[in-house]
Every structure is written in structure tokens, then in C-alpha cells.
Amino acid sequence: MTRRVVVTGIGVRAPGGRGVKEFWDLLTAGRTATRRISFFDPSPYRSQVAAEIDFDAESEGLTPREIRRMDRAAQFAVVCARDAVADSGLDFAATDPHRVGVSLGSAVAAATSLEREYRVLSGDGAAWEVDHRYLSPHMYDYLVPSVMPAEVAWTVGAEGPAAMVSNGCTSGIDAVGHAVQLIREGSADVMVTGASDTPITPIVVACFDAIKATTPRNDDPEHASRPFDASRTGFVLAEGAAVFVLEEYESARRRGAHVYAEISGYATRCNAYHMTGLKTDGREMAEAIRSALDESRLDGTAIDYINAHGSGTKQNDRHETAAFKRSLGDHAYRTPISSIKSMVGHSLGAIGSIEIAASLLAIEHGVVPPTANLHSADPECDLDYVPLTARERRLDAVLTVGSGFGGFQSAMVLRRPEGATA
């Protein structure tokens, strides 16, 4: 008897709003949260726009000690975990901690703190042999960022399996997929899982500048993220986090939990092609999609909405479009597809989880969020990308995908819980 896995709690910190409701309002209104970078002076950089979060750690309920100790990405993860736990209605105090695990995704983890400490230790790059007398007692936790899942485990009282899944830009799907596998195999009954990344920091902006992956559209930050549009020029860097409570289906049902969706299938593949490049044929992403559908025991025609990776780089948008056609055939042309990165940008390892949150809310509310800033699609991207305006539609099965450096291609299928109406 296969154990099934459902989502019962969501916590989100995404650009443009605080918490799940404001996140969903932004998405369904088709508003964008991209702006000129305010965290530092971006004028020496090629790309000067980002989707930042106005995060006030104190008002989020973090103590001064927690704020001093934790990197920004860990802070995001912890507040999202608290929200997800509260939303789930699960009494964690009455749950066996040994059966609760944590799987947290991040691509660049403590980048913000690494950069801050580097500047102090090196005198802004003056010394190669850095001065240990200025060493922060937390420096090790920025070197080795598995303190992030540890902080989440302490927050929720988890003593089961815990780890960080760090697969670059698919981390947010893969961390949740990892959690699903742990519940299915019986290693845990409850998993607190999701992803967090806070990469809007000079080193990360500079490294995407170098490969020209981020947009140089600096004159119009609100409309800089344009997935699938013929005028797109690269992605917009972002930060954010989303964390979920996953439970074994029978126990969630027994306690009468509100179930957002079942995670019925997950798969990942590598393209073994190039650390940053994609082939145009979408072969490996298509294989991940097919495998996730198989695990869900669904035919491709059952998919009602695809939450795309949609980063807004030419190679991604074409690669992904090819992958949808390759895996779903003609059904790809009939399926609404959208990229929320048009509104909240690309938060690297976190975005996969933020997109899972969007997919869960789409099922819950029966609304497909749009692709903002899409006025004239790239002729080679000839599917239905839901431009500008959200659509009402009953969604029984949603596919969300991710693609990232290292060649990772991941896919997850979410299904409406039985008996739910919307």
C-alpha cells in the first residue's frame, strides 16, 4: 500500500506582499514586484533590477538574538515555517518529533552573510589572507549552510531526517520532492519542507551579469521580467521563500485537515549537456514530466495548468516550450501555461517552492495566474501563456516545472484533493 502525501500548510514570503494572501492577490491581479535594486547601489552592474522583499525581521516575530544569528535566507525560512505550521492546524506539540522531518532547498544559501563577512574580513578585498581577528562566531554557518534546515527543525520541533537539498534553481521543487519520498517510504509522517534564497547581493548580481543571464532592461524595472515575450532579455533576480507542511494522507484525513492538494508525482533528470546551457529539444525536462505523470498514474491530457519555469531567457523559454510539446503532445497547445517569474522574479533555489505555492493556490481558488508583461510572444513560443490576465478554471491536476544550472530538470504534479469543490 503506497503512502500518499498531501499539503496541509503553506507559508510564503515573496516580493510584493507579506504572506500567502498578499502573494495570491499580487499574482491574480497580474501586478509586478520588480524594481530598481535598493539594497546596494546597482549602478556599476549590468543588471540593476530585482524583486526585493521589504522584510522587517522584528515585526515578523524574530527575536534580536535570532536576527543576529541567522542569515537572511534562514530568517525567511523560519518565518515561513511558522506560518505553514499555523496554517496546517496540526498540533506539532502533540506529534512525535521523531516522525517529523525537514527538507529545505536553497541554491546560494547564506550568500548575503558571506558577502557581509567577506567585506569585513578582507577590508573590501584589500587582503587575500583575511584577518581572522574580525571573524564572526557565525562564519562557519555561512561556510556550511546546513544551519538553515537546523533552524527550521528547531522552530517546528523536528527530530526526524533533516537536510538541505541544493540543486541550484530546481532546489525548490527537489527539496519538496525529497520530502515526498521520505513520507512515502515511511521515514517520516510529517515533513516541513520548502526553500529559501536571498541572492540580491553584489557577488550574485555580478556572476549573472558575467553570463548575461539577467536582464539589462534597467529603464523600466516594473516591466523588466518578460517570460515568453519576444522582447525578453533575461531573468530578473529575486529573493523569497515558501515552506509547506506535508503529511501522510490518511493521517491528515483522519484529523480533518484542510488539504490543499496531493503531491502525486515528482521526478528530476539531468541534461548532462552543459553547466548553464540548454539544448533546444527539451528532451530531459520532457522525460522528467513524463516520469512525474507516470508516478501520478495520469495521462498528459489530465493536466489542466502548467506553472512554467518561465525565467525569461530566450534559451529557457524555447527549451521549455519544446519540453511541453514533447511530453504532452497536442495537449500542450490546449493547456494554459504561465510564469509567475514575470511578477515575483527568479529567486533561484526558492522559486520552485514559491511556484508550488502558486500552484496550490491556483487549485484552491480555481484561478490560473497570468504571465505579466507578455504582449507579443516569441514566435517560437507558440503555446497559451495566459498573457496579462488571470483566468478562472477548475484545476484538477497541475504540473509545475523547474530548470537550472548543472542541467537539473524537475517536474511535480499536484492534484486536487478528493471531494473538494471550487
Partner 1 sequence: MPIMTIDDLQRILVSCAGEDDATATVTDSAGRRFDDLGYDSLALMETAARIEQEFGVKLPDDEVNDARTPQELLDLVNGRLATA
Partner 2 sequence: MTGPHHEPVYVTGIGVIAPNGLGAQQYWDATLEGRSGIAPLTRFDASAYPAALAGQISGFEPKDHIPGRLLPQTDVSTRFALAAADWALTDAKVDAGSLVDYEMGVVTSNASGGFDFTHREFNKLWAQGPQLVSVYESFAWFYAVNTGQISIRHGMRGPSSALVADQAGGLDAIGHARRTARRGTRLVVAGGVDSAFDPWGWVSHLSSGGVSQVTDPARAYTPFDSAAAGWIPGEGGAILVLERAEAARARGESQIYGEIAGYASTFDPPPGSPRPPGLRRAAELALADAGVTPAEVDVVFADAAGLAGLDRAEAAAITGIFGPHGVPVTAPKALTGRLLSGGGPLDVVSALLSIRDGVLPATAGTEDVPGDYGLDLVLHEPRAARVATALILARGRWGFNSAVVVRAVRD
86 binds, among partner 2, partner 1, none (CB under 5 to 8 A by kind): none
Nearer to partner 1 by C-beta: 46 or 138? 46
Q: What is the DSSP letter of 229?
A: B
Q: Is 207 a catalytic residue?
A: no
* Interface pick for partner 2 out of 62, 80, 267, 413 (rule CB under 8 A): 267
* Torsional class of 339: left (φ above 0), alpha (ψ -120 to 50), beta (otherwise): beta
Q: In terms of C-beta density within 10 A (0-12 exposed, 13-18 middle, 19 or more buried), how is residue 321 classed?
A: buried
- Residue 274 makes CB contacts below 8 A (sequence gap 6+) with 407
Nearer to partner 1, 234 or 402 (CB): 234
Q: For the window 32-71, what string marks contact with partner 2 as x by the rule CB under 8 A?
A: ------------xxx-------------------------
Q: Parallel, antiparallel, or unpaired for β 337-338 and 305-307? A: parallel
Least Å distance, CB 403 to partner 2, is 13
Residues 175-204 close enough to bind partner 2 by CB under 8 A: 178, 181, 185, 187, 202-203
C-alpha 345/C-alpha 351 separation (Å) is 8
Closest to partner 2 by CB, 295 vs 378, is 295
387 binds, among partner 2, partner 1, none (CB under 5 to 8 A by kind): none
Pairing of strands 100-105, 190-197: parallel
Is there binding between residue 207 and partner 1 (CB under 8 A)?
Answer: no
Binders of partner 2 among 386-405, rule CB under 8 A?
404-405
Is 270 marked active-site? no
- Residue closer to partner 1 by CB (options 92, 405) is 405
> Which of 21/212 has CB closer to partner 1?
212
Beta bridge partners of 266: 412
Nearer to partner 2, 17 or 240 (CB): 240
* Distance in Å, CB of 173 to partner 2, minimum: 11
Q: Which of residues 27 and 263 has its CB atom nearest to partner 2 in the complex?
A: 263
CB of 137 to partner 2, least distance (A): 6
Q: How far is the CB of 201 from partner 1 (least distance, A)?
A: 21
Strands (E), 23-62: 35-36, 49-51
Q: Which does 40 bind (CB under 5 to 8 A by kind): partner 1, partner 2, none?
A: none
Q: What values do phi and psi take at 100, rounded to 5?
A: -110, 125
Is 381 an annotated catalytic residue? no
Catalytic residue, from 80, 178, 309, 319: name it. Answer: 309
Q: What residues between 102 and 121 interact with partner 2 by CB under 8 A?
A: 102, 107-109, 114-115, 118-119, 121
SS3 118: helix
281 binds partner 2 (CB under 8 A): no
- Give me the 275-294 binding string for partner 1, x by CB under 8 A, dash otherwise: xxx-----------------
Q: Which stretch binds partner 2 (CB under 8 A): 143-151, 239-247, 383-391, 395-403?
A: 143-151
- Residues between 248 and 277 that touch partner 1 (CB under 8 A): 274-277
Backbone torsion region of residue 123, taken as left when φ is above 0, otherwise alpha when ψ lies between -120 and 50, otherwise beta: left
Rg of the chain on CA atoms, in Å: 20
One of 58, 159, 219, 382 touching partner 2 (CB under 8 A): 159
What DSSP designation does 4 have? P
Query: 135 vs 211, which CB is nearer to partner 1?
Result: 211
Give the separation between CA 35 and CA 72, rounded to whole angstroms.
20
Instruction: List, in order, residues 6 or more apart from 421 with CB less than 8 Å away.
Output: none
CA distance 122 to 185: 47
Q: In angstroms, rounded to a whole number, what is the distance separating the alpha carbons of residues 29 and 321?
A: 25
Task: Give residues 211-230 in contact with partner 1 (rule: CB under 8 A).
Answer: 211-212
Provide the CB-side half-sphere exposure for 364 (13 A, CA): 18
Q: Alpha helix locations (H) across 134-193?
A: 139-143, 147-156, 171-185
Q: How far is CA 206 from the centre of its chain?
A: 22
CB 339 within 8 A of CB 236: no
Which is the catalytic residue, given 169, 178, 319, 381?
Answer: 169
Among 149, 172, 234, 312, binds partner 2 (CB under 8 A): 149
Q: List interacting residues with partner 1 (CB under 8 A).
A: 210-212, 274-277
Catalytic residues: 169, 309, 346
